[in-house]
Amino acid sequence: MKKENSKTVFIASIVLSAIVAGTAIIFSEGFAAFSGKLFTFLTTDFGWLYLLTVFFFVVFCVAIAASRFGKIKLGDDDSEPEYSTVSWFAMLFGCGMGVGLVFYGVAEPISHFVNPPSGMGLTAGTEDAAKFAMRSAFMHWGMSPWACYAVVGLALAYFMFRRKKAGMVSTVLEPLLGEHRMDGWLAKLIDVLAVFATLAGVVTSLGLGTIQINSGLNFLFRVPVKMNVQIVIIVLITLVVVWSAVSGIDKGIKMISDANLYIAIGIMLLAFLVGPKVEMLNNLTNGMGQYIQNFIGDSLAINPHGDNSWLGSWRVYYWAWFIAWGPFVGVFIARISKGRTVREFILGVVLAPSLGSILWFSIFGSLGLKLGLDGTLSMDQLKQIAAQPETGLFVVLNQYPLGKVLSIVAIVLLCTFFITSANSGTFVLSMLTSDGNLNPPNNRKILWGILQAVTAVGLLMAGGLKPLQTISIAAAFPFIFIMIAICIAALKAMRQDPLMLPVHDPAKK
């Protein structure tokens, strides 16, 4: 039956992905219009639900970590972590955030700086707008997105390593659905949607990374921004991705993730040394204070009667995107977390990378905001950076000493981040279409690696990745309810864990 389920999920996933991607490529304009309207409807009419759900995930993670369940091992009681803490962090961080930080690290704070939301009394280009920009960036890349990943990853790691179940998203719902329904249509549908969301997320990341690498090469070395160049970049990256995925987690993926982490630390240190150090430290301190002080209010803030366009374009959009990525990142994090305690898992997956993201924005966000506040760049130039984030990083770095060196390192980092996300995605897709096999066959990894590349090239040739990203976020709407069910199922399972049951002591008779 398991082989049959695996085959069904694999074929259905391929067919669904081919239909959606093919429609996006062949009927690009109509598909873009439809996906845009669907997404606008969901984020406008259900923005409140996204806000409540993501806030619930944060509360759930904090409560579980602080509770008695925190001491449960994700594995046997005597199991030890498979990977060092540094490598574990490098892999989960690169998979969950990497390319996004490089893409938006400079551009997002500038965007909030030049275009703050109406109704808050903020004037574009002012110090108050700059403070709001950092606070918003911390909010969007802090604990909330990581909590979306953690609820899936924690439940799946518990079931895979503690209960010895298959590494499928549907597996964690067994306490609610019952074992007899694990072969039913609902379980298969959940797994197929998880595969589609993963493929769409990886392809979008692949395309965005390619565009930014091409833009960086153009800015530095006048390499033309052309489709032919982008295809070459995708092919070269795909070769490395497939090699690292086939090599396995212990070799290829771990090695690239470790290198990725050290390059990221290196570019942050270099940017700190050449940038406005006092402003960076002040932004870190003030931004952290604002983030912590306003966390509950910002998590649930929505205008009941007025304009919510900024909220829909940023916060709700991000929350929808991170929920869509929840199955992909959650499955990969679960796979590398055997031997950790529940408490260690949550601290490592929610708190540690949130601090890393906050530190990143404190440094790179300050680089951009400083140029706006001191008049080095005009408001029109800043608006151009906000509109074209793929080049914004390089424009800003060019204003500082060693700008060309920083830009070259940023391109290398983009490549490694982008490879980390793609090879993690390839591994997860192979797992999810091999009945949760923790070491899926190489032929499946090669197939998914090629399909990712072909889909990315096709969408770029058709005019862009936005429609696929939009439809994948819309299609992931049901994951709101699936992920809430996962939290309930995980709590129910952990309450029945042998470690949580009272120990029977014959001496007390």
Closest of 38, 15, 37, 12 to residue 476, by C-alpha: 38
Closest of 85, 83, 81, 95 to residue 152, by C-alpha: 95
Angle of helix 28-45 versus helix 466-475 axis, rounded to 10: 40
Tokens at residue 118, please?
A: 């109406």
Residues 349 and 85: their CA atoms lie apart, in Å, by 11
Tokens at residue 347, please?
A: 């601290």
Query: What pLDDT score does 6 carry?
Result: 64
Query: What pLDDT score does 31 carry?
Result: 80
Buried b (16+ CB within 10 A) or exposed e, 249-288: beebbbebbbbbbebbeebbebbbebbbeebbeebbeebb
Tokens at residue 63, please?
A: 């409560």
CB 260 within 8 A of CB 267: no
* DSSP result, 134-178: HHHHHHHHSHHHHHHHHHHHHHHHIIIIIS---S-GGGGGHHHH-
How far is CA 95 from each of CA 146, 304, 338, 372, 474, rounded to the nearest angstrom?
11, 36, 17, 32, 22
Going 312 to 313 to 314 to 317, the CA torsion angle's sign is: positive
Going 234 to 386 to 28 to 316, the CA torsion angle's sign is: positive
Maximum C-alpha span of the chain? 83
Looking up tokens 């800015």 gives 219
SS3 labels along 317-347 = HHHHHHHHHHHHHHHHHHHCCCCCEHHHHHH
How far is CA 3 from each of CA 6, 7, 120, 442, rounded to the nearest angstrom?
5, 6, 56, 17
pLDDT, tens digit, 9 for 90 and up, residues 151-174: 999 999 999 999 999 889 899 999
Looking up tokens 């406008």 gives 44
Residues 271 and 280: their CA atoms lie apart, in Å, by 10
Radius of gyration, CA atoms only, the chain: 22
How far is CA 398 from each of CA 214, 258, 391, 405, rounded to the nearest angstrom?
17, 28, 11, 9
Query: What pLDDT score does 4 carry?
Result: 53
Query: What pLDDT score does 367 carry?
Result: 96
Residue 501: count other Cβ atoms within 10 Å of its Cβ. 9
Tokens at residue 397, please?
A: 């770095």
Tokens at residue 359, please?
A: 């530190």
Residue spans of the chain under pLDDT 50: 1-3, 504-509
CB 460 within 8 A of CB 28: no
Query: What pLDDT score does 298 carry?
Result: 96
SS3 labels along 68-88 = HHHHCECCCCCCCCCCCHHHH
CA 268 to chain centre: 20
Tokens at residue 457, please?
A: 């090239």
How far is CA 499 from each of CA 158, 175, 201, 295, 465, rounded to the nearest angstrom?
13, 18, 37, 34, 47
Phi-psi region of 223 (alpha: psi -120 to 50; beta: other; left: phi over 0): beta
Residue 119: count other Cβ atoms within 10 Å of its Cβ. 11
SS3 labels along 200-219 = HHHHHHHHHHHHHHHHHHHH
CB 150 within 8 A of CB 56: no
Top-tier CATH class for 2-498? mainly alpha
Residue 160: count other Cβ atoms within 10 Å of its Cβ. 24
